[in-house]
Amino acid sequence: MTNTKRAVVVICDGLRADLITPEWTPNLWRLKERFRSFTNHRSVFPSTTRTNAASLATGCYPARHGLEGNAMALEEDGRFEVLSVGPPGFRDRLEKARGRTLTMPTLAERVTGAGWGAVVYSNVSPGAAMFHDPDGHGFIYHRSFSQGPGRAVLDPLGIEHTAAGDTVLTDRFLDEVLIPGGPEYALIWQCEPDHTQHAVALGSPEHLAVIAAADANAGRIADRVEELDPTGENILLLVGSDHGHETTTEIVDLDEVLVAAGLKDGPDSREVAIAPQGTSVTIYLAPEAMEREGAIVEFLMGHPAVGGVIHGADLAKLGMPVGEGVPRIAVTGKVTDAPNEFGVKGGSVAFQGTLKISNNQGCGQHGGLGTYEQSPFAMARGPRYPGGTESADPTSTVDLAPSILRHLGLDHADMDGAPLP
């Protein structure tokens, strides 16, 4: 089956929409004249990279694709183990524990099933890259691992996990993918500005430098696509981010909090398993701890660091699964609209647990439902998207895959999302 249509996706990890300005992101700003912008675009929950990667790949929320956060609890040897999704080995542990990787087909599976090519270039965590195509239908190129069809082992890219690495990644994407006759589906996912945002203050000179680097790479890719397809009729180009960031105002270890409250047996116990997501956590309960759910919810709703507690059937409203062996409770941090020392608004409490993640006071973080972490950006160039226009209709990460499949002429009716308007 031949196809003259192609789809290209560019992700600038963690770049929030309000930081796209003529001064800070001149390339993305000029693209507004040639792209349709989606001004009410949102992340999924948790607003983490790995969850969004799976949602972009499947067009579905976590309830249907099965990847519940940047960290998850899996039942291993009869008890919960809280694991980071980031390491490359998590994929096999997920498959062993649950009998599968993702529970919905990915774009790579659908596109290669039509006889076409699919390739992902990524400089984020190995897990976030892996879950675009965990079962090896197309190609994944990453700094620490690469794989081809059938999960054939390929040489890793060997680039740095920095803005400089993103630039080399972009060079290769331009040279190897954005060429005549290239694959029908191609995605590039830069680690910046997210990687640096976790370690510096939002709006600081260090932060603005990596925003500029990500912006320059996105501009180069957009210009190459326009060279390949001047009319915009054949190549759908989607440019965006997966989530935004909030300034970390406080760091709270919820494992310690629940142990002190008598609601968890001990710091290393697994009957109450806390998976930290940054500015949120998901809580898993073993059968013997199910009766504690109400007490845990009531206690956390009164805790000063907590902004919201979602549990039971209400988790479905966030696109999260409901049942046993999945999170029973989700907790979000208390947020503020106050600016930091560089005038960038938005802050949130971040959470820690027995599984230690990168939380840094006064630096960027995400994972919850705060205004700014839930404000990624999205824009599209293609036959259905007139340049210089905007849509204020609600859109989300899950809407990218249906947009791609519609453009390629493939069915998308089983997805949670819908094509971008």
Tokens of 223: 């210009």
421 in any annotated domain: no
Reported confidence tier of residue 1, pLDDT bands at 50, 70, 90: low
Answer whether residue 419 is part of any domain.
Answer: no
226 falls in which pLDDT band (50, 70, 90)? very high
Here the CATH number for the domain that contains residue 163 is 3.40.720.10
Does residue 142 share a domain with residue 107? yes
Q: 4 — phi, psi (to 5°)?
A: -90, -5
Around 372, how many Cα atoms within 13 Å sit in the side-chain half-sphere? 24
180 with 212, same domain? yes
Task: For residues 234 and 277, give the distance between their C-alpha atoms in angstroms, rounded to a whole number.
Answer: 38
Answer whether residue 81 is part of any domain.
no
Confidence band of 373 (pLDDT split at 50, 70, 90): very high
Q: In the predicted model, what is the mean pLDDT of residues 108-133?
A: 99
- In a domain, residue 137? The reply is yes
pLDDT tens for residues 404-415? 999 999 999 999
224 and 349 fall within a common domain: no
| pLDDT of 3 | 78
**Tokens representing 386?**
């007139």
Average pLDDT value for residue range 102-117: 99
For residue range 27-59, what is the model confidence (pLDDT) as tens digits?
A: 999 999 999 999 999 999 999 999 999 999 999
On whether both 184 and 304 belong to a single domain, the answer is no
How far is 209 from 24, CA to CA, in rounded Å?
Answer: 9
Q: Are residues 108 and 232 in the same domain?
A: yes
2 pLDDT above the threshold of 80? no
Domain count, the chain: 2
226 and 295 in a common domain: no
pLDDT of 250 over the 80 cut: yes
CATH number of the domain that 323 lies in? 3.30.1360
Q: Evaluate whether residue 42 is within a structural domain.
A: yes
Q: Where are the alpha helices (DSSP H) in 229-311?
A: 254-260, 293-301
- On whether residue 163 sits in a domain, the answer given is yes
Query: Is residue 220 assigned to a domain?
Result: yes
The string of pLDDT tens digits covering residues 141-191 is 999 999 999 999 999 999 999 999 999 999 999 999 999 999 999 999 999
Residue 177 lies in a domain: yes
For residues 205 and 289, membership in a common domain is answered with no
pTM recorded for the entire structure: 0.97
Residue in this structure with the two tokens 């370690």, named with its chain if needed: 199
* pLDDT, tens digit, 9 for 90 and up, residues 311-365: 999 999 999 999 999 999 999 999 999 999 999 999 999 999 989 999 999 999 9
Domain extent, residue 239, equals: 6-67+102-244+374-408
Residues 41 and 143 both lie in one domain? yes
Check: CB of residue 368 under 8 Å from CB of residue 333. Answer: yes
